[in-house]
Amino acid sequence: MKIAYYPGCSLHASSKLYDIQAKSVLGKIGIELSEIEDWNCCGATSASKTDDFLAIALAARNLGIADATGLSEMMIPCSSCYSRTLVSQKALAGDPALRSEINAELAKKVEGKIKISNILEVLLARKKELTDNAVKKLTGLKPACYYGCLLTRFPSDMPITDSVENPVAMEGLLKSMGAEPLDWGYKTDCCGASASVNDADMALKLMSKILKDALARGANCFVTTCPMCQLNLDAYQDEVREKYGIAKSLPVYFITELLGVSMGMGVEQMQIDRHFTDALGLLRELKLI
Amino acid sequence: MSTSTLKYSAETSNALLKEVMDRSGQNLMSCYQCRRCAAGCPVGDESGVTPDRLVRMVLLGEKDNALNNLLIWKCLACYTCGTRCPNNIQTARINETLKQMAKEAHIEPNIPRVASFHSSFVKSISHFGRSNELEFMALYEIENYKKGGLTAVKEDIKSTSKLGRSMLKKKRMHFKLDRTKGKSEIKSLFKKAADKRGAKGQP
């Protein structure tokens, strides 16, 4: 089965490993991710902070390309891209004048047909196939599942498939693979993301709260689906620990690499050696790799 | 910065309120100051202004305060305030509008680097259709340099190059320029955006 796929800029660059993992894991259960051709950046949070028209129009061009594929569903792993694309699709459905105005500039017009899914929705719909393909139980893995902001909260009303304040999709998936996900208090709190570059003290403070809570609950790793959150919590963790005197570190996994490991895929295929905070030690200790 | 509940005058506050409501699409008048937004705001403590206070400034017509405060620049667009608002007011959208209005009024951003970050990101999309981390970071530092001189970029370059070194080590740095072929479409969308802003000014 083919699903349209929008990787977004980060899965082509700093989070290329996530792109590779997603294709391997879904490929294993017979899903082919078909990257839409010649996509552009969705504008992310920056477009909506600077220009209301671009915030809708940039994602609209991708929606037109996606509609033209004739496929029924498009998966967007990055939470920011997912959010902007969904918001654009909804805004255009509710504003025919804006839609024609934007369509006039596009080679492939937005029809509004394609269903936009995040990676958890795509994975959860295939939980049985995933568990059927699992060869290792993720015993001993105690993840703090981290959803961040943009997977469940939107700038306008949006019907979502999980709970806004206490989403549980990741926990469900990981439990079925034998892991023991924990209840904790910061699963939808903001990690700061872009503030790590432009307002660093603020971002470090937010990350310290997240890290401290996860450790206090007894987590031995984070799991996330958002490449922005992953990079942030992974790359800046040393700085957070140093500034806030936190002794222990926690690896920050993408959901896909843990699913891959339980399906028997190795370090090289899952590219688990591309983390900033050691991510191999725990998996070795648990004899998962 | 303080807001006074004694200064309300419908006549003087209406112009600001109407502009913010029209542009943000949010009905600020339904705010009853329950402060659920304030309780959830991750940057309220550090900003000295919480979303409820910001709404109140606009309702009172305190334009200077509304366009010139830390919250509109510290806001991370996490959307917690709006998700929890019982009256469905998305304060993050109000922040986006106020940021744009501050720019149009030529008010120096309270955190210039945040403004540079977002305008450089959008500029990088206008160049290649996609965001390329190295090009984007270069644009961002040039912008910081223009605004604050060498001292503004010195610290940044130190911390960014530290991150850059670990990104290199972990093979997470990307050197190939990623670009969209449909450049004329991207260009025309940017032109349309500029036309729409018209007299309102650049992003």
Average pLDDT over chain A, rounded to an integer: 97
Last residue of a domain, one of A120, A150, A177: A120
For residue range B59-79, list pLDDT tens digits in order: 999 999 999 999 999 999 999
When comparing pLDDT for A59 and B197, which is higher? A59
Size of interface A-B (CB pairs under 8 A): 163
Mean of per-residue pLDDT scores for chain B: 90
- Structure confidence at residue B8 (pLDDT): 80
B46 compared with B158, residue with greater pLDDT: B46
Distance from C-alpha of B48 to C-alpha of B40, rounded to nearest angstrom: 14
Q: Which among A156, A51, A56 is positioned nearest to B121, based on CA atoms?
A: A51
For residue B122, the distance in angstroms to the closest alpha carbon of chain A comes to: 6
Q: Is the pLDDT of residue B203 over 60?
A: no
pLDDT of residue B5: 53
Structural domain range at position A184:
136-285
Give a yes or no: residue A239 inside a domain.
Answer: yes
pLDDT given at position B3 = 53
> Is the CB of B140 less than 8 angstroms away from the CB of A197?
yes
For residues A90, A96, A101 and A104, what is the CA-based torsion angle, rounded to 10 degrees?
A: 90
Question: Cα separation of B161 and B194, whole Å?
Answer: 34
Instruction: Quote the tokens at residue B171.
Output: 């093979």
Tell me the C-alpha distance between B12 and B7, whole Å: 10
Domain's final residue, options A93, A120, A147? A120
As for the ipTM of the complex, it is 0.94
In DSSP terms, A252 is beta-bridged to A222
A47 shares contact with chain B (CB less than 8 Å): yes
Q: Are residues A234 and A145 in the same domain?
A: yes
pLDDT digits 0-9 by tens, A154-187: 999 999 999 999 999 999 999 999 999 999 999 9
Distance from C-alpha of B29 to C-alpha of A239, rounded to nearest angstrom:
43
Say which CATH number the domain at A79 has.
Answer: 1.20.1050.140
Check: CB of residue A256 under 8 Å from CB of residue A21. Answer: yes
> Does residue B200 register a pLDDT over 80?
no
Structure tokens at A9: 């800029």
pLDDT at B22 over 60: yes
pLDDT digits 0-9 by tens, A126-157: 999 999 999 999 999 999 999 999 999 999 99
For residues A185 and A269, state if they share a domain. Answer: yes
Cα angle, residue B102 at apex, residues B101 and B107 outer, rounded to 5°: 150
Boundary of a domain, candidates A120, A154, A173: A120
Same domain, yes or no: A281 and A223: yes
Residue pair B123/B138 in contact (Cβ under 8 Å)? The answer is no
Domain assignment present for residue A125? The answer is no
Full set of structural domains in chain B with CATH: 5-104 (1.10.1060.10), 112-200 (no CATH)
Show which of residues 160-199 on chain B sit within 8 Å of chain A, judged by CB atoms: 160, 163, 166-167, 170-174, 178, 180-182, 185-186, 188-190, 192-193, 196-197
Q: Tell me what the mean pLDDT of segment A187-210 comes to.
A: 94
Number of folded domains that form chain A? 2
CB burial of residue A27 (10 Å; 0-12, 13-18, 19+): exposed
Is residue B162 over pLDDT 90? no
Q: What is the pLDDT of residues A40-87, one digit of tens each?
A: 999 999 999 999 999 999 999 999 999 999 999 999 999 999 999 999
Task: Check pLDDT > 60 for residue A200.
Answer: yes
For residue B168, what pLDDT is reported?
Answer: 87
* Residues A105 and A140 occupy one common structural domain: no
Gap from A237 CA to chain B (nearest CA, Å): 12
Report CA dihedral (B150, B151, B152, B154) to the nearest 10 degrees: 80
User: Are residues A140 and A116 located together in one domain of the fold?
Assistant: no
Query: How far B24 CA lies from chain A's nearest CA (Å)?
Result: 9
CB distance B79–A41 less than 8 Å? Answer: no
Q: How many CA atoms lie within 13 A of B184 on its CB side?
A: 4
Residues 100-119 of B with CB under 8 A from A: 100, 111, 113-114, 116-119
A227-235 vs A237-244: helix axis angle to the nearest 10? Answer: 50
Element housing A144 (H / E): strand A143-146
Instruction: pLDDT band for B175, please (50, 70, 90 cuts).
Output: confident
The mean per-residue pLDDT over the stretch A102-112 comes to: 98
